[in-house]
Amino acid sequence: MERPLVAVGGVILKGNKVLLVKRRNPPNKGNWAIPGGKVEYGETLVDAVKREMKEETALDVEPIELLAVVEIIKEGYHYVIFDFICKVLNGELNPGSDATSADFLGLDELRRENVSPTTIEMLERYFNGEKTPLFIVEKSVTQTSK
């Protein structure tokens, strides 16, 4: 991969819980994560969130607020992810082809499950009242110069 890929995530809250999916594919295969995926060429961030949430959760959503920009550099991947808080418009929760399961988890459950530290940090800050969009970097590989 020569350049970072742009991706989106949809954060759906239910009280003090957040909707997560268990990832079927790398990066973070087998871990719980915010549902989302890559932005396609010519697609807006908002349209990408709507499409990805439908594909991964079967829910129709409306992104209402930018929560965070998360940069992940690991496992041969480099993503810049825009995570949006979303409102559910309709649909029944059902994990899609990129997820093995989907569920609402509270912060205590997140800390006991395989959830990336950046996801936990982002949600802790949000639930603690920090509403300004966050910028978080998760890097576990060293870059070689070209």
Q: What is the CATH number assigned to the segment(s) 5-139? A: 3.90.79.10
Taking only the tens of pLDDT, the chain with its 146 residues reads 588 999 999 999 999 899 999 988 877 788 899 999 999 999 999 999 999 999 999 999 999 999 999 988 887 889 999 999 999 999 999 998 888 999 999 999 988 888 988 889 889 988 888 877 777 677 765 544 44
Per DSSP bridges, beta strands 77-90 and 36-38 are unpaired
Q: Is the overall model pTM greater than 0.85, yes or no?
A: yes
Question: CA-to-CA distance for 138 and 120, rounded, in angstroms?
Answer: 12
Domain parsing of the chain, residue ranges: 5-139
pLDDT of residue 72: 86
Tell me, what DSSP letter sits at residue 76?
A: T
85: nearest Cα among 9, 21, 6, 7: 9
Number of H helices, E strands in the chain: 3, 9
